[in-house]
Amino acid sequence: MDEDTERQIPAGTVVYDTRSDKVGEYRGAAGPYALLRPLGGGREWEARAESIRPATAEERLSAEVRAANRRSTALTYPVPDLPAPEPAPGCATCAEFAGRREAAEAGADASGSTDAAVLLRRHLRGDHWGTPGR
């Protein structure tokens, strides 16, 4: 990519790569290539200067919607529904973790509930392995 072309395209400009049929954010130049990154993040790719042009409003919107969809589906992977671990009878540490879990559940704190359940499971595996009924 020559110096004139690089001066014409400021970093951050949304462009359309006609060869790959993709919309990306212009990041800079590397020799004869423009470095482009998908909107919303991802792996950069190289495009020839002659194959890029400013993206239309429709192309940009479509790419932004795809990026938003990728973000939302990345957060909704299936999580196994494990039963809550049962504390070992008479163990103060187990009782503490179980109490944390119950308090988090009562406060609708799913993250806190999960954290307490993980701590209880680790404690059970580490300190009560072989406890009857486990």
pLDDT, tens only, 8-20? 789 999 999 999 9
Percent of the chain beyond pLDDT 70? Answer: 84
Whether the predicted model's global pTM rises above the 0.85 cut? no
Selection from 116, 123, 115 nearest residue 99 by Cα: 116
Has residue 100 got a pLDDT over 60?
A: yes
- Domain annotation for the chain: domains and CATH numbers: 3-74 (2.30.30), 78-134 (no CATH)
CA dihedral 63, 65, 67, 73 (to 10 degrees): -150
In terms of average pLDDT, the best of 50-54, 112-116, 125-129 is: 50-54
